[in-house]
Amino acid sequence: MEKTKKDLKFYLNKALKQKFSLGAFNFCNMESLQSILTACKKTNSPAIVAVSESALKYMGEEFTIALFNACKKQFPALFLHLDHGKTFDVCKKAVDLGFDSVMIDDSNLSFEENVKLTKKVVDYAHKKGVLVEGEIGQIKGVEDNISAKNNVYTSPKQACDFATETKVDMLAVAIGTSHGINKYTKTPTLRLDILTEIEKLLPSLPIVLHGASTINQELIKTYNKFGGKIKKAIGVDEDLLKEAVQKHNVVKINTDSDIRLSFSSETRKVLAENKIEIDPRKYLAKGRMKAEEIISEKIEKTLNSKNKK
């Protein structure tokens, strides 16, 4: 895979300096990747495109790489990332395939074991010029096959020790976001104070927020109007996310659920309204357009990454 001078490290540093965040958008098929590509092209925004282990398995390695390369050719400020790699082997595989960065997510292990495994991934990846994201604290919700029932907020001191010992390039922290479409039982909150404390200890550590979907309620209405049955869906507060971007060192924000929801609600609508439509291109194109709209909106309103290419 082609490596340009404007690599991922360049954009992480730029984001730290200019107070924007790279969207890390998950994809699992050609259409979802195209919706990210088009949004980034239209807004002239750099971004990370992420695949989980299960998405990699679903698409297959060769298709994943081929799809990404097709996008990279059209828009070089896109970077391929492995999301929530659980083992050294899966991270190694992604490094060998030419990914720009990998996440080793072993925050469910003890601090010592997490440090040990993360270090092993860092050693391997750095030799090949690939960046590594680690995680400290636990983010509620399902992360591939592992699920955490509750948030274990990141301790700033542990975050500092972990980042220093492992030499990760980015650190995912738990401050109240969570995976999936239903993140809160009550009012959405974020512990931005934890970010402040980490920044006092390590002022230039790139910070990552997972589970950052905002869950647009109009999309939920559409989803349910056309046969869906989502009872409760509360996302992260957009203003708090903006604050995390503008006042803190959050330079990578992960979004999957918002893309899935926009895609699926629109697809449902088209299929419900056209009961004889059998051509996948007709409904997938609509889903893709809606996802693109939601991604562009996020880039402009929350991530502040427009025109940062």
Interacting residues with ligand 13P (CB under 6 A): 26, 83-84, 179-180, 210-213, 254-258
Q: Could you tell which of ligand G3H, ligand 13P, Zn ion, none binds residue 255, using a CB distance below 5 to 8 A set by kind?
A: ligand 13P
* Given the residues 83, 100, 169, 256, the one annotated as active site: 83
β 141-143/146-148 pair status = antiparallel
Nearer Cβ to Zn ion, position 140 or 210? 210
Tokens 């010592």 -> residue: 112
- How near is the Cβ of 79 to ligand 13P at its closest, in Å? 15
Nearer Cβ to ligand G3H, position 183 or 308? 183
Do residues 290 and 296 lie in contact, with contact meaning Cβ atoms separated by under 8 Å?
no
Do residues 17 and 48 lie in contact, with contact meaning Cβ atoms separated by under 8 Å?
no
Q: Could you tell which of Zn ion, ligand G3H, ligand 13P, none binds residue 266, using a CB distance below 5 to 8 A set by kind?
A: none
Tokens 């390039």 -> residue: 169
Among 210, 248, 286, 298, binds Zn ion (CB under 5 A): 210
Cα 71 from Cα 25, distance rounded (Å):
14
- How near is the Cβ of 144 to ligand G3H at its closest, in Å? 4
Reference 194, options 248, 148, 246, 254; nearest CA is: 248
Nearer Cβ to ligand G3H, position 78 or 103? 103
Catalytic residue list contains 83: yes
- How near is the Cβ of 48 to ligand G3H at its closest, in Å? 13
Nearer Cβ to ligand G3H, position 55 or 131? 55
240 to 259: interface string for Zn ion, x by CB under 5 A: --------------x-----
Nearer Cβ to ligand 13P, position 4 or 145? 145
Q: Total residues contacting Zn ion (rule CB under 5 A)?
A: 2
Does the footprint of Zn ion cover residue 81 (CB under 5 A)?
no
Q: Could you tell which of ligand 13P, Zn ion, ligand G3H, none binds residue 269, using a CB distance below 5 to 8 A set by kind?
A: none
Which residues on neighbouring strands pair with residue 103, listed in sequence order? 133
Give the tokens for residue 110: 């003890």
Binding-site ranges for ligand G3H (CB under 6 A): 26, 52, 54-55, 83-84, 143-144, 179, 256
- How near is the Cβ of 274 to ligand G3H at its closest, in Å? 28
Helix axes 257-273, 30-43, angle to 10 degrees: 110
Reference 255, options 27, 13, 12; nearest CA is: 27
Q: 77-105 burial by CB neighbour count: b if 16+ within 10 A, else e?
A: bbbbbbbbbbeeebbbbbbebebbbbbbb
Q: Could you tell which of ligand 13P, Zn ion, ligand G3H, none binds residue 189, using a CB distance below 5 to 8 A set by kind?
A: none
Reference 34, options 241, 251, 290, 298; nearest CA is: 290
Contact residues for 75 (Cβ-Cβ < 8 A; gap 6+):
37, 40, 41
Q: What are phi and psi of 248, to 5 degrees?
A: -130, -175
Nearer Cβ to ligand G3H, position 82 or 168? 82
Q: Could you tell which of Zn ion, ligand G3H, ligand 13P, none binds residue 212, using a CB distance below 5 to 8 A set by kind?
A: ligand 13P
Catalytic machinery residues = 83
Residues that bind Zn ion (CB under 5 A): 210, 254
